[in-house]
Each structure stands twice: as structure tokens, then as C-alpha cells.
Amino acid sequence: MRARDIQRIAVVGAGLMGHGIALEFAANGYDVRLHDRDEAQLERARGSIAEGLDQLAEIGRVSPAALTSAPERIAMGTDLCATVTNADLVIEAVTEDLDVKLALFHGLDRWTAPRAILASNTSTFLPSQLAAATQRPDQVLVTHYFNPPYLLPLVELVRGPHTSDETIETMRDLYQRLGKAPAVVQKEVPGFVGNRLHMALYREALAIVAAGIASPEDVDIIVKTGFGRKLGVVGPFELSDSSGLDVFLAVTERLFPVIDASREVSPLLRDRVARGELGVKSGTGFYHWTPEVIAALKQRMGQGLAVIARLSDD
């Protein structure tokens, strides 16, 4: 199957990621079926889809007409079999529970047409684990989005040992048609690539705070207003090449021996979780979170990502 053959898309799971995946395909003219076991979650997804489309319209990523037509292309329902039966592509975005996902992929393998590609938005499990529940391991992969999926262009295409080149190329072509930035992860590893890089930074940030070198607030300032801005336009290898590999060699020789390399989870993080200090969801974490502060953060994130998306289109 080629990207041009994919016309009907099913998204299983209407939560944080699922509704965003569905709205982006619908905004690009695809017919989408969105499933969730919970009717209330589907109702919440309707409101979230409208908000996401408004954001895309504000930055010129969708036309005013799409504000009306895109929701009409999304059929929602709680009948899983009916949702996926005629799909050319199924993207799973349910809870991060391996047993739940395995049962789902086993069902998808039985209910979908033999040509259908089966993808997962998991950030935890390997494609080979999911493919083992099917009779079509060559058509199974992970399509790892980043939140919010309709504003962040990256999708990691993670292949398992049996994922075919045709499946990878079909999905790469499909996402390029959507204006996204698909990146192929050639060998499955825990965390794929994006999360491994993110957690490497987070490990060092925790170590810096735990050692009293800087506060969480100042670490965030350094990342946001320093190299974080640069990494929005150049990657680490582009950056090292442009600065000079000899310069980076000298820096790594000095810093690699002293950068945190612990294989244990930071007590700084464990202790906060043990105290119920979970961040936004509990009202306190490394920061104190009031409803007003939470709303301001969401607005700042949405506006910032929208600006970056607009610049990328220019």
C-alpha cells in the first residue's frame, strides 16, 4: 500500500493525544473515525478538537472553511469493530498498559482488512511487542507523536525487526503530505530517540538542583532563554559541525567525566512523588500551581508553539 491509498483512518483512544491526531488528519481532508469506550471522553474530545482547530486557524495552518468541514469528517463512536473495519490505517492512542494494547492489537488484526497498517502512539512499548499480537508484523510500527500533536511536527516512525520498508516509506510519505517531520528510528530501543534525549537532559537538570548548583527556576531560565532557543532551529549535530568538532571535542573531554551518569532515579524526584507533589495535577511540584498559573502556562505553551509553527511555514 502507498500513501495515496490511505483514505480512511481510525484513531483508537480519544484522550490527550488521540483527539489531536484525529483533528490533524481531518483538517487535511481525511475521513477519520475516532473511538473511545467512554462517551463522556468523546464529548470532551469534541470540545478539544474545536479548540485545536481554532489554534491552527489563528496561525493560518487551516482555512476558515476547515473549521466547519474538519469536525464533520470525524465520526466518533464506542463500537471498536465498527470504527476500524474499513480503515486503511489504525493509530492506537490508548492507556500505556501493555496487556490492554496487546488485546487491542489482537482485535485489530482480526477486524481490519489485510492491507491495513497498524500503528501505536506508545512512548513506552516496542513495536515488536505489539506486532507479536498480530499476523502482520511487517505492517506494524510505532508512530510516536509529541504533545500537542497538531502543533509539533515531529513523528518518530519506529520500526520493529519485521516492519517492512514499504510500511515505513508509506508512513513517511503520508506524514510529509500532512506537512509533518517524520524521523525514522531504525532500531527499536526503550524511549526511542526523542524521549532518550529528553531524559538525558532531565537527569542532568535533577542532578544540578540536587547538588545545590542552581534552583529549578534558574535551570528552566537557562534552558528556555539559552541553548533551548537555538535547538529550535538547529540540531545537536548541526550545532557541533557549525561550531567546530574540535571545539566540541575539547568541551566533551572536560565535561563528560563530571556530567551525571547515574543509573538510579534521582531521590529528588522520588521524594516529591512520595509526598504527593506531582506538579500541575496536585497543585505543587517543583513549582506551586494555582488554576490561574496553570491557565497561563497552557496559553504560553500554545502561543509559543503556534509562533514556531508559523515561522516553520514561512
Q: pLDDT tens digits, residue range 2-11?
A: 999 999 999 9
In contact, 98 and 106? CB cutoff 8 Å: no
**pLDDT at site 311:** 65
How many other CB atoms are there within 10 angstroms of residue 92's CB atom? 24
Q: For residue 115, give the nearest of 92, 88, 141 by alpha carbon.
A: 88
In contact, 48 and 7? CB cutoff 8 Å: no
252-286 pLDDT, tens digit per residue, is 999 999 999 999 999 999 999 999 999 999 999 99
**pLDDT at site 304:** 82
**pLDDT at site 1:** 85
Handedness of CA 302, 308, 312, 313 (dihedral sign): positive
In contact, 15 and 38? CB cutoff 8 Å: no
In contact, 127 and 140? CB cutoff 8 Å: yes
Q: Coil, helix or strand for 92?
A: strand
How does residue 58 score in pLDDT terms, banded at 50, 70 and 90? confident
In contact, 214 and 208? CB cutoff 8 Å: yes
Instruction: Flag whether pLDDT at 28 surpasses 70.
Output: yes
Instruction: Flag whether pLDDT at 33 surpasses 90.
Output: yes
Element (H, E) at 290: none
How does residue 306 score in pLDDT terms, banded at 50, 70 and 90? confident
Instruction: Flag whether pLDDT at 59 surpasses 80.
Output: no
SS (H, E, C) 164-177: CHHHHHHHHHHHHH
How does residue 303 score in pLDDT terms, banded at 50, 70 and 90? confident
How does residue 312 score in pLDDT terms, banded at 50, 70 and 90? low
Helices (H), the chain: 18-27, 39-58, 64-72, 80-84, 98-111, 127-131, 165-177, 194-210, 216-225, 227-230, 236-243, 245-255, 267-274, 291-313
How many other CB atoms are there within 10 angstroms of residue 120's CB atom? 27
The strand order across the sheet containing 89-92 reads: 74-77, 31-35, 8-12, 89-92, 117-120, 140-145, 154-159, 181-185
In contact, 223 and 215? CB cutoff 8 Å: no
How does residue 305 score in pLDDT terms, banded at 50, 70 and 90? confident
In the chain, % of residues over pLDDT 90: 85
In contact, 178 and 25? CB cutoff 8 Å: yes
Burial of 235 (0-12, 13-18, 19+ CB in 10 A): exposed
93-141 pLDDT, tens digit per residue, is 999 999 999 999 999 999 999 999 999 999 999 999 999 999 999 999 9
147-205 pLDDT, tens digit per residue, is 989 989 999 999 999 999 999 999 999 999 999 999 999 999 999 999 999 999 999 99
Handedness of CA 284, 286, 292, 296 (dihedral sign): negative
**pLDDT at site 310:** 67
196-240 pLDDT, tens digit per residue, is 999 999 999 999 999 999 999 999 999 999 999 889 889 999 999
Phi first, then psi, for residue 89 (nearest 5°) are: -140, 130
**pLDDT at site 121:** 97
In contact, 92 and 13? CB cutoff 8 Å: yes
Instruction: Flag whether pLDDT at 314 surpasses 60.
Output: no
Instruction: Flag whether pLDDT at 144 surpasses 60.
Output: yes
Instruction: Flag whether pLDDT at 72 surpasses 80.
Output: yes
How does residue 308 score in pLDDT terms, banded at 50, 70 and 90? confident
Residues identified as active-site: 123, 144, 156, 195
Distances (CA, A) of 154 to 94, 182, 261, 281: 20, 6, 28, 26
